[in-house]
Amino acid sequence: MDLLRSVRDTMDETEFHTPLPSGYRVGSTRYLAVFGTVMSGLGKGIFSSSLAKLLKDKGLRVSPIKLEGYLNIDSGTLNPFRHGEVFVLDDGMETDMDLGTYERMLDQDLSRANFATSGQIYRAILDKERAGGYLGRDVQMIPHVTGEVKYRLRELAVKTQADVVFIEVGGTVGDIENAFYIEALRELSYEEGPGRVVSAALTYVLEPPALGEQKSKAAQLGIARLMEYGIHPDIIACRAENEVTKKVRQKISVYTNVPFGRVFSMHDLPSIYLLPERMRQAGLDSEVVQLLGLGGKVNTAVEMKAAGEWNRFAGKIGRATKKVSIGITGKYVALRDSYASIIKAIEHAGVANDAEVDLEWIETTDITEDNVAEKLAPVDGIIVPGGFGVRGTEGKIACIAHARKNKLPYLGICLGFQMAVIEYARNVCNLPDAGSTEITPDCATPVISILPEQKKIEGLGGNMRLGGQDVQITPGTLAADLFGGAQRIRQRFRHRYEVDPRYIETLQKAGLIFSGRHPEHPIMQILELPRDVHPYFVAAQFHPELTSRPLHPQPMFVGLVKAALERNEK
C-alpha cells in the first residue's frame, strides 16, 4: 500500500506508525478476529478454535493468538479461583486456559508468540522508548500502542507462515482494558485491505423463563457497541442455552447487516467437540474461506480425511456403553475451570475406553483419616491434581493412603506426585516426620524439597521448572507400557519442589518404583507401585493433562479410566 511505503521511504513527520517485521508483505496474510459482546465467558476460544480447526482441516496453515487485557506479563501468578487454570506451553510460557483449547482442537503445540497481554505490550513499548526507538516523539496509545499490537500479529504470521491468523480479543466489548486491541484491529483491516480481515462477534441471546421466548435486544445492542469502534462483523455467533430460533437470527441479521447465513446458533452442546461439525453443517467454514478469498488453497482430500477422523471421535461422545466414576480430590473444586485440562483429558480417555466418566468433586480441606473411606466410597478411581500451598495437603495424603491400601486406581499429578512420596515415606518407610519444605520449611525429614544444586545444574536458578522436558522411562514398568514402550517422552512441568535424592534409595527399597527420571540428573518424574501390589497406582511430577488431545488421549488418563472400569465391573 502507498501509505505504508511512504512511511518507510521518508523521514518526514507522519501520522502513520506501522512497523513491519522482516519478511512481512502487507496483504499476504489473512486474519480472523473474534470479539465478545453482552457478557464475558461466552466461549470465544471455543468458537475461534473450532473454526480454526475446520480451516486447518482444509489444508490451510492457521495460527491463533489470544490478546489479554490484564497487565500481568503472563498468567503464572493468577489465582485459579479467579481466572481458571494456568496452561503451560512447551516453551514454558504460562498462559490463559484458552490456549489449551486451541492446542487440543488444532492438535498442535503453540508458543509464547501465540499469547499477548497488555503488560507485555506496554513493557515492549516502554523498553523501546527508553532506548530512543521512537525518535523523540511523544508515545501515545494511537499510533504506538496499537502499532505494537499490529506488529505482534504480523510477527506471528511471519514466524508461523500462517495462511490465517485467528485473533481472540479477551474480555467484552466496552471494557476499558481491551479498547486499544479493538482499535488496533480496525487499523489492521484498513491497512491490510479489503478481504484480508474478517471479524466475528459472539453475543448472547437471552431466554428469561418468565417470558418463555428468546430476546435479541441485548445482543443487538452489544453488537452495536462493537460497531461504534469501527468494527462491522462479518459473522455473528449467538450463544444461548437452546438453539436460537430462525426469527431471532433474522432480527439480528437485519439489525447488523450480516447475511442470515452468517448468523450462527452456538447453543449449548453435550461437548465442545461437537461444535466443529455443527459449524461445518451450517457452512460457516465455507463462508470464511469465501470471505478471505482462500478457495484456491483448499485441499479437498485432506479435508475429507480430517473430517472422517474427527467424526469417528465425536460420534462416540454420549454413546458410551459403560459408566465409571472418577474423583477429583483438590482444593479448587469450587471452580471447575481450575481443572479444565484435567476434565478434557478425562473426556478424551473416556471416549478411548468407550466409557462415560462421571466426575466427583471432592474438597480435600475437610478430609481426614476418619472420613476418607466414606468420602471416596462412591468413586472407582481418584486423581490428586496439582496445586500450591499448604491448604488441603493432609487431606490429599489421606486420600492417597486410602487408594494405596484399598487398591483404588490412583493418578497423582505434580503435587499429587509429591504427596504420594510423602505418604509412602510416612506409612511404608516408617518416616513419620516425612514432609515437604514447601509445607513445613523446617521439616525434619524433607523427602520433598527445593534442591539448589539441582537448580544450578539445570540453569534454572530459583525459578519454577517450567515447560517441556524429557523424561527417561524405565523398560518393563507400567509407565513403559502406558507410553507404548517408549524409552523417552516429552512432558510439561510446572513446579519448584522435587524428591530429595537422599531418600530415593530408602523409598525404592521399600517397594516404590521411580519409572520416569530426568535423562541426566537424579530428578524423579514418574512413580508407580508394582502391578502385583496395586492394579493402578501411578503419579507424575509433570502435568500429563496439558498434552492430551482428542485424537491422541494422554496414556496415563487412559490407563486410569481403564483400571477404574475393571474395578467397577468386579
Provide the angle, in degrees to the nearest 10, between the axes of the packed helices 146-160 and 179-192. Answer: 60
Q: What is the 3-state secondary structure (H, E, C) of 223-279?
A: HHHHHHCCCCCCEEEEEECCCCCHHHHHHHHHHHCCCHHHEEEEECCCCHHHHHHHH
- Phi/psi at 520 (nearest 5 deg)? -125, -30
The SS3 of residue 320 is coil
* Confidence band of 457 (pLDDT split at 50, 70, 90): low
Distance from C-alpha of 94 to C-alpha of 528, rounded to nearest angstrom: 28
Residue-level pLDDT at 14: 67
Distance from C-alpha of 122 to C-alpha of 488, rounded to nearest angstrom: 40
Residue-level pLDDT at 2: 53
Q: What CATH number was assigned to the domain covering residues 323-569?
A: 3.40.50.880
Backbone Cα Rg of the chain = 26
Q: State the cell numbers at 25.
A: 508483505
Q: Is 414 a catalytic residue?
A: yes
User: Which residue out of 238, 399, 414, 429 is catalytically annotated?
Assistant: 414
Residue-level pLDDT at 458: 53
Mean pLDDT of the chain: 92
Domain boundaries for CATH 3.40.50.880 within the chain: 323-569
User: Which residue out of 17, 83, 518, 543 is catalytically annotated?
Assistant: 543
Residue-level pLDDT at 83: 76
Q: Which are the contacts of 529, defined by CB distance < 8 A and separation ≥ 6?
A: 404, 511, 512, 513, 537, 538
Q: What CATH number was assigned to the domain covering residues 30-313?
A: 3.40.50.300
Domain boundaries for CATH 3.40.50.300 within the chain: 30-313
Residue-level pLDDT at 7: 47
Residue-level pLDDT at 461: 44
**pLDDT tens across 170-198, in order?**
999 999 999 999 999 999 999 999 999 99
Instruction: Write down the residue that cell numbers 507424575 correspond to.
Output: 540
Q: Is 543 a catalytic residue?
A: yes
Distance from C-alpha of 419 to C-alpha of 447, rounded to nearest angstrom: 10
Annotate 469-516 with DSSP letters as a single string. Answer: EEEEEPTTSHHHHHTTT-SEEEEEEEES-EE-GGGHHHHHHTT-EEEE
**pLDDT tens across 52-108, in order?**
999 999 999 999 999 999 999 999 888 776 777 899 999 999 999 999 999 999 999
| Percent with pLDDT over 90 in the chain | 83
Residue 529, pLDDT > 70, answer yes
Tell me the range of 8-12, 364-368, 491-495 where mean pLDDT is highest: 491-495
**pLDDT tens across 271-319, in order?**
999 999 999 999 999 999 999 999 999 999 999 999 999 999 999 999 9
* Confidence band of 409 (pLDDT split at 50, 70, 90): very high
**pLDDT tens across 42-68, in order?**
999 999 999 999 999 999 999 999 999
